[in-house]
Structure formats: C-alpha cells, structure tokens
Amino acid sequence: MQTKQAPMERIIMLYVPWALAALFSSDAQLSYIIAWLGSFLIFFLTLTGWVKPIPNDMSVAEQLMRPIFLVQIIFAGYMACTSIFYFLDVLGYQNFEKVSTTLVDQNRLQYTAQCQRYYCLGHAAFVSGILIFMDYGTKSKYYISKDKLANLLMMFAVVSFPASIFFIRIPGLSQFANQFSSLSFIAGTLALAFAIPLKKIGNTLICLAFYFFNFYTALTSGFKEPIIISVLVLGIFLYPNYKKLVAAIFIPALLILFMFLPTYNRIFRQNAWSGDASADEATQLALDAALNNDAGDEDDSNWGFMVYRLSEIDMFIKFTQSTPKTVDFYRTKLLAQSGMAIIPRIFWPGKPSTEDLIMERVYDAGVINRASSVSAKPAFIVDAYLTLGGWGVFVMMLIYGAVAQIISVKAEKLFGGYILGTALIFSGLFQIMWRGLSFEFLINTVFWSYISMLAIHKILTASNILKEV
C-alpha cells in the first residue's frame, strides 16, 4: 500500500484559484467565478490523485466513505459550490432568466465575491489537512472474520438504537443520543448493503425494516438533510456491487428530492410544527403539495430554496459586514466557549446554554433580531472567519481536515480496516463533520464521539469480537 507524501508544490497549487480570485477582487463578477470554479478544480486535482495518490488498498468505489471522498464532497461541496444560485440572484436572475428591471446591488455583489473567496480558501485548507495526514499504510493489529461482518453490523444497528433512547432519558447525557442514533442508521444501512448480495433473507428483512423506519423518521423530522442522507448513504454502500443499477436509480432519486423537498418541508412544518395535524397527516399533506408543485410563497419556491436555503452565503455576508467593522474578531473566545461546551451538563448543572452562547454572536452581527424565534447558527467556516478573518479561515479549516483524516485513520487501526473503521464508526459517530456546524457544537460532538469510539473498541476487544492479529 502506498504511503507517499503529497509534494508541497502540488498542495500549494490548491491555493492558486483563491490567489487569482483575490488578484481580480476589483472585478467582483470575475473574482466570484474564479473562486467558484476553483473549488471544482480542487475536487478534480484531489479526487484524481494528482496532488497525492488515492489509497490503493481497495478500489475507489470501495472507499467512498473516507474523508477525501464523502466528507470533502458533502462538506466542501455544500459550503463552496451551492452559492451559484445566490450569485445569479444578485445579478438579477429569477429561475435562470434575467429580469431586465432588476438593478445589480454592487455592494452586495462585492460581499458575495469576498465570501466565495473565503469558501475557496477554506476548501483548499480543508483538503490540505486531509492530504497531509492521509496515510492508511499501517496495518491494523485487530481483525474480524469476514463471515461475521454482516451479523456484527446488524447487531450494531439493533444495539445502538435502544442505546440512543437510553441516553435521551438521562438528563445531561442527551448529546450521546444523537451519536448512537446516527450509528444505528449507518450500521443498519451498511448491514442491508452486505445482506443483499449475500442473499441473507433474514438479515435483509430486518435491515429493510430498520432502513424504512429511519427513512420515515427522517421524513417526519421537518428537515431536508436526513432524507437526502438516507438515500445517499444507501446508494454509496450498494455502489461497489451494483454500480450501474445504483447510478440509474439513486442519482435521479437525489435530483428528484432536491426538486420536491423545499415544498414538502414547508407544508410539513406548517402543519406538524403548529400542532394543526399529526406527523402522518402532515406528511400526507406535504407529499400532496410537493407532487402537485404547490410552491406557494416565493421564498419557499425551488428558486427561493436554492438562493437562500441551499447555500448559507447570505448569512456569511451579514457576518462579514459586521466583523470587524462593528464587532471585533473573537480570537480565542469561541474556542474557550467550545471547551465549556465539552463538559457534560450532568457534571455542571448550571452550565450556560450552548445554543444561547452561539446565538449571541448571531444577534450581535444583526443576522436576526433578538425578538425573533428563528435559530440561525453560523457554519464552521463563519466561526473560523469570526475568529481571525482570513487567517482564521486558513488555520481552522486546515485543522478541520486534519482532524477528520486522523480520526478516520485511527478508526481503521482500531477496528480492523475500512468497513468497521471508516464506513461504520467514523461515518456513524462523526457524521457531524459532513456539515460542519458552529465551533461549540462540532468540537463538543467530535470530542465525545472520540471517547465513544475508544469505549466501543474496548467492548469489542474485551468480548473477543475484535481479535488481535
């Protein structure tokens, strides 16, 4: 297996798009386009192995859950590539058609280009952290028999779900509930992908029941991401064995979801969250509205969704307008608050609300009014900017990528390779790294997920499920 280090000059090439975009910053449209296309160049240079060879211990299709693939595509793709619709809206486009009566707000255009440059810089730094530590060359000293994998994965799904319910009921430890709920979903989906080609009828039926239960839970959550992830993850796990079938079914399915989910979610929330209907009734009403293309309010139409909800650049712009102009950089304050957030409430009953701490910077920036009931927590790259501007983006995103990669490597060493290590444990316990939330939420979750990972390893070795080589 290769462990070749990425040449520094090739890593530096990842920053060329950001440098060019900064060079042409006086032309906001050109600067934005260079920075936006720059992320696609970064994807190409890294996913083809040009900067550093892709690990060759298995085919690309069999290692898609590793950070260089899935985490980069979801995290960086969502962060850096979805703003194109906002950019078109700034230029006066509506549903991809130029509205002749619209005057371009040059100030808004400048801020859009500036934030896209930060996205491009953050993408380059993030993937640099991954590449620097992407070394799967050291073999694990633990192993599990391949014929036991399918049953073990199903066992993880069955055990993790009640564990998540258990933690919900214990005051101060509810943060572990999300970990084990996510682990149960990933384990059940992975077990299903294992059971189908092995023709294990019993396992397949049990895993199908788990999958549809999780999909129903996602459908009635009121959020788009769990629904998309439910479909995406199953497609990724099935892809190595059914490439053509997955490409033919799952790619169109994801496109359809992006088309219909904005309307579905709006109608579901209006009915379920207001108490006007049960979850089942709200689901039916939302499905009917989505299938009948009842867009309703323009801001909740597909175009409104793509402009203001698919991307978080509008919020990023508001933060850059206030910091450092009226609100100074936070420097180490956000990291200090993240350290406080790590302490479980069971040990510190009077601990300040993490949500309230985060919302303070939202209110200070004028993103939303204090009297509003809306929650608008900043993304990780926004907190990186608020820490120390461009330098904060570079340093924190570099660390983010490095941590994701180090954990993936560690998981594979502890759990005998890719399937249990990255596909199950890393993807299950550290799923928050796919999105990158505010510092306090992300650092707290990653810290305790790491502790959970070590505890699970101890349990599996003590019970002789994981054996030493």
299 inside domain:
yes
373 inside domain:
no
Residue with tokens 């550093």: 52
Q: Which two tokens stand for residue 326?
A: 């009226």
d(CA 373, CA 352): 19
380 inside domain:
no
20 inside domain:
no
348 inside domain:
no
219 inside domain:
yes
Q: What pLDDT score was predicted for residue 298?
A: 47
> What's the number of domains the chain is made of?
1
280 inside domain:
yes
430 inside domain:
no
Q: What pLDDT score was predicted for residue 215?
A: 85
Q: What pLDDT score was predicted for residue 294?
A: 59
The 3-state secondary structure of the chain, one letter per residue = CCCCCCCHHHHHHCCHHHHHHHHCCCCHHHHHHHHHHHHHHHHHHHHCCCCCCCCCCCCHHHCCCCHHHHHHHHHHHHHHHCCHHHHHHHCCEECCEECCCCCCCHHHHHHHHHHHHHHHHHHHHHHHHHHHCCCCCCCCCEECCHHHHHHHHHHHHHHHHHHHHHHHCCCCCCHHHHHHHHHHHHHHHHHHHHHHHHCCHHHHHHHHHHHHHHHHHHHCCCCCHHHHHHHHHHHHHHCCCCHHHHHHHHHHHHHHHHHHHHHHHHHHHHHHCCCCCCHHHHHHHHHHHHHCCCCCCHHHCHHHHHHHHCCCHHHHHHHHHHCCCCCCCCCCHHHHHHHHHHCCCCCCCCCCCHHHHHHHHHHHCCCCCCCCCCCCCCCHHHHHHHHHHHHHHHHHHHHHHHHHHHHHHHHHHHCCCHHHHHHHHHHHHCHHHHCCCCHHHHHHHHHHHHHHHHHHHHHHHHCCCCEEC
The per-residue pLDDT for range 47-62, each reduced to its tens digit, is: 999 999 999 999 999 9
Range of the domain at 260: 177-309
Q: What pLDDT score was predicted for residue 304?
A: 81
Q: What pLDDT score was predicted for residue 446?
A: 96
Q: What pLDDT score was predicted for residue 293?
A: 63
pTM of the model: 0.92
Q: What pLDDT score was predicted for residue 91?
A: 94
Q: What pLDDT score was predicted for residue 452?
A: 95
**Below-50 pLDDT ranges, the chain:** 1-2, 298
Q: What pLDDT score was predicted for residue 11?
A: 96
